[in-house]
């Protein structure tokens, strides 16, 4: 829709992106204006519009960045430990790591809202991210649970549960028994 990746001033875009994510995580989406983001990035509103032709454009790139960040977290946890740890520990670690990053969760919820509110491009990005994470989880689990044939279903259950866990964390529900849940999920036959 909007012109993206103009290839000009990539460092500037990076600077904007970093600061935008930082302030969005701190203040929450609805409380952050473009003026706030510009100020956080140390540039003027005019300059912001020089690099991003609309708010939707900026939000798309922020989403991109955000998704990559989650993917990196998953990758680090799943890939690096897949050989040394058992499935339960990995799953628990993912639960803990992803769910407890509350500021990131708040940003996630905000971007979700933007996507759901009719931004088709953003929705596509979320769907792609889900696929990507699904593949990573499946691949990781297959390496540990070699003999199991239900890994894909397990991955779906786990991923949806992970998303739901983020939500629960955001509304302050501290009582989720993440460790037993991880045990239960991997204790399947």
Report the interface residues with DNA, using CB under 7 A.
Answer: 8-9, 12, 31, 33-36, 43-47, 49-51, 53-56
Task: Please identify, using beta-carbon distances, which residue of 80 and 128 lies nearer to its own copies.
Answer: 128
Q: What angle do CA 56, 14, 68 make, to 5 degrees?
A: 75
Q: Which does 121 bind (CB under 5 to 8 A by kind): its own copies, DNA, none?
A: none
Contact range with its own copies by CB under 8 A, out of 7-15, 59-67, 80-88, 161-169: 161-169
Residues 169/97, Cβ–Cβ less than 8 Å: no
Backbone region of residue 5 per phi and psi (left: phi > 0; alpha: psi in -120 to 50; beta: other values): left
Backbone region of residue 49 per phi and psi (left: phi > 0; alpha: psi in -120 to 50; beta: other values): alpha
Residues 88-117, one symbol each (x = binds its own copies by CB under 8 A, - = not), give: ------------------x--xx-xx-xxx
Residues 105/172, Cβ–Cβ less than 8 Å: no
Other beta carbons within 10 angstroms of residue 67's beta carbon come to 19
Q: Which residues bind its own copies (CB under 8 A)?
A: 28-31, 106, 109-110, 112-113, 115-118, 123, 126-127, 130, 150, 153-154, 156-157, 159-165, 167-168, 170-173, 176-177, 180-181, 184-185, 187-189
């Amino acid at each position: 829709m909007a012109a993206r990746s103009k290839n000009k001033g990539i460092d500037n875009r990076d600077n904007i992106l970093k600061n935008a994510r930082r302030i969005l995580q701190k203040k929450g989406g609805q409380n952050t204006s473009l003026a706030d983001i510009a100020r956080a990035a140390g540039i003027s509103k005019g300059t912001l519009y020089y690099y991003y032709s609309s708010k939707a454009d900026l939000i798309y790139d922020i989403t991109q960045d955000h998704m990559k960040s989650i993917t990196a977290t998953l990758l680090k946890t799943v890939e690096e430990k897949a050989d040394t740890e058992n499935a339960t520990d990995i799953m628990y670690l993912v639960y803990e790591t992803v769910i407890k990053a509350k500021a990131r969760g708040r940003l996630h919820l905000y971007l979700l809202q933007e996507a759901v509110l009719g931004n088709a491009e953003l929705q596509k990005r979320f769907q792609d991210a889900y696929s990507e994470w699904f593949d990573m989880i499946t691949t990781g689990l297959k390496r540990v649970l070699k003999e199991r044939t239900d890994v894909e279903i397990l991955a779906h259950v786990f991923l949806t549960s992970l998303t739901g866990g983020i939500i629960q964390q955001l509304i302050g529900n501290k009582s989720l028994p993440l460790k037993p849940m991880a045990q239960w999920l991997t204790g399947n036959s």
